[in-house]
Amino acid sequence: MDDIAEGVIQAINLIITLNPDVMQIAALSLYISLSATIIAALIAIPVGSLIHFHEFRGKRALIILIQTLYSVPTVVVGLVIYLLISRSGPLGFFGLLWSPAGMILGQTVLIVPIMMGLIISALSGIDRGISDTLVALGATTSQKVLEIVKEARYAILSAVVLGFGRAIAEVGVAMMIGGNIRDQTRVLTTAITLETGMGNFGISIALGIILLAVALIVVVILNLITSGFSDDSRHIAGGPRG
Amino acid sequence: MIRIEHLTKKFNGVETLREIDLTIRAGEIFTFIGPSGSGKTTLIRLIDLLERPTAGRIVFDGQDTAGTELERLTIRRRIGMVFQKPAVLNTTVAENVAFGLKFRGVSQEEIRERVPAALDLVGLPHFADRRAPTLSGGEMHRVALARAMVTHPEVLLLDEPTANLDPVSSNMIEDLIIRINKKFGTTIIMSTHDMLQGQRLADHIGVIMGGRLAQVGSINDIFYQPKGREIARFVGIDTILKGIVRNNENGHACIDVGEVRFEAITPCPPGQRVALYIRPEEVTVTLTDDSVQRTSVRNQFVGKVTKIMPNGPFIRLTVDCGFPVTALITRMSCQDLSIGVGTVVSTGIKATAIHVLPDAHGAPG
User: Average pLDDT, stretch A104-121?
Assistant: 96
Does residue B91 lie in a domain region?
Answer: yes
Domain count along chain A: 1
Give the pLDDT confidence score for residue B294 in this predicted structure. Answer: 55
- pLDDT higher than threshold 80 for residue A37: yes
**Arithmetic mean of pLDDT, A52-63:** 95
pLDDT of residue B296: 65
- The domain that holds B333 is classified in CATH as 2.40.50.100
Residue finishing a domain among B175, B204, B233: B233
Within 8 A of B48 by CB-CB distance, chain A residues are 136
Residue A144, class by beta-carbon neighbours within 10 Å (0-12 exposed, 13-18 middle, 19+ buried)? buried
- Do strands B344-349 and B299-311 pair parallel, antiparallel, or not at all (unpaired)? antiparallel
Domain match, B227 and B241 both: no
Residues 6 or more apart whose CB falls under 8 angstroms from that of A146 comprise none
> Is residue B118 assigned to a domain?
yes
H helices of A125-181, where? 128-136, 141-151, 153-169, 172-173
User: Which helix (H) or strand (E) element contains residue B187?
Assistant: strand B187-192
Is residue B16 very low, low, confident or very high in pLDDT (cuts 50, 70, 90)?
very high
Range name among A119-133, A217-231, B12-26 with the lowest pLDDT average? A217-231
Q: Residue A26 — very low, low, confident or very high, per pLDDT cuts 50/70/90?
A: very high
Least confident of A10-19, A62-71, B321-330: A10-19
> Is the predicted pLDDT of residue B135 greater than 90, yes or no?
yes
Going by C-alpha positions, the residue among B170, B236, B234 that lies closest to residue B208 is B234
Which is higher by pLDDT, A236 or B22? B22
In a domain, B363, yes or no: no
Question: In this complex, do B91 and A232 lie within 8 Å of one another by their Cβ atoms?
Answer: yes
Residue B345: domain span: 237-358
In a domain, B365, yes or no: no
In 3D space, the residue among B48, B84, B40, B41 whose CA is nearest the CA of residue B208 turns out to be: B40
Q: Are residues B65 and B209 in the same domain?
A: yes
- pLDDT-derived band at B184 (thresholds 50, 70, 90) equals very high
Same-domain check for residues B227 and B246: no
Which residues in chain A have Cβ-Cβ distances shorter than 8 Å to B151?
A: 137-138
pLDDT of A237: 38
With a pLDDT cut of 90, the percent of chain A lying above it is 69
Q: How confident is the model at residue B360 (pLDDT cuts 50, 70, 90)?
A: low
**pLDDT of B219 higher than 90:** no
- What digits encode the pLDDT tens for the residues B143-182? 999 999 999 999 999 999 988 888 898 999 999 999 999 9
pLDDT at A233 over 80: no
A169 part of a folded domain: yes
- The pLDDT of residue A150 is above 50: yes
b/e code B233-258 from CB counts within 10 Å (16+ = b): ebbbbbbbbbbbbeebeeeebbbebe
Residues B174 and B268 in one domain: no
Q: How far is CA A199 from CA A186, A204, A206, B25, B78, in A?
A: 18, 9, 13, 87, 74
Same domain assignment for residues B225 and B103: yes
| DSSP label at residue A200 | -
Higher pLDDT pick, A235 / B146: B146
Total domains in chain B come to 2
Chain B residue with Cα closest to A231: B91
In a shared domain, residues B101 and B64:
yes
Question: Is the pLDDT assigned to residue B109 strictly greater than 60?
Answer: yes
Most confident residue range from A165-174, A195-204, A206-215: A165-174
Q: Which residues pair with B311 in a beta bridge?
A: B314
Instruction: Let me know whether B248 and B200 are in one domain.
Output: no
Beta-carbon contacts of A212 under 8 Å, excluding residues fewer than 6 positions away, are none
- Asked if residue B99 lies in contact with residue A134, where contact means CB atoms within 8 angstroms, the answer is yes
B253 with B199, same domain: the answer is no
- Whether A241 is in a domain gets the answer no
Q: What is the mean pLDDT of chain B?
A: 90
Q: Do A140 and B103 touch (CB under 8 A)?
A: yes
**Predicted pLDDT at B42:** 95
Establish if B364 belongs to a structural domain.
Answer: no
Domain that holds residue A41: 2-228
Q: What is the pLDDT of residues B267-316, one digit of tens each?
A: 999 999 999 999 998 898 888 765 555 566 778 888 999 999 888 888 99
Which of B233, B250, B282 terminates a domain? The answer is B233
- The mean pLDDT of B217-236, rounded to a whole number, is 87
Among residues B96, B105, B84, the alpha carbon closest in space to that of B40 is found at B84
Closest by Cβ to A129, choosing from B79, B80, B87: B87
Q: How far is Cα B322 from Cα A232, in angstroms, rounded to an integer?
A: 70
Q: What is the 3-state secondary structure (H, E, C) of B76-105?
A: HCCEEEECCCCCCCCCEHHHHHHHHHHHCC
Length of chain A: 242
Which of B198, B233, B268 corresponds to the end of one domain? B233
What is the distance between the terminal CA atoms of chain A, rounded to a whole angstrom?
52
Do B296 and B186 reside in the same domain of the chain?
A: no
Contact across the interface for B100 and A137, Cβ inside 8 Å: yes
Quick check: A236 pLDDT over 80? no
Burial (0-12, 13-18, 19+ Cβ within 10 Å), B183: exposed
Report CB contact under 8 Å: A129, B85: yes
**DSSP labels, A20-79:** HHHHHHHHHHHHHHHHHHHHHHHHHHHHHHHHHH---TTHHHHHHHHHHGGG--HHHHHH
Q: Of chain A residues 133-152, which have a CB less than 8 A from chain B? A: 133-141, 143, 147, 151
Q: A156 CB near a chain B CB, below 8 Å?
A: no
Q: How far is CA A51 from the centre of its chain?
A: 21
- Cα separation, A188 vs A196, whole angstroms: 12
CATH number of the domain to which A165 belongs: 1.10.3720.10
Quick one: B68 and B201 in the same domain? yes
B220 with B249, same domain: the answer is no
Looking at residue B186, what is its pLDDT? 96
B192/B282 same-domain check = no
Average pLDDT over residues B251-257: 91
Residue B350 inside a domain? The answer is yes
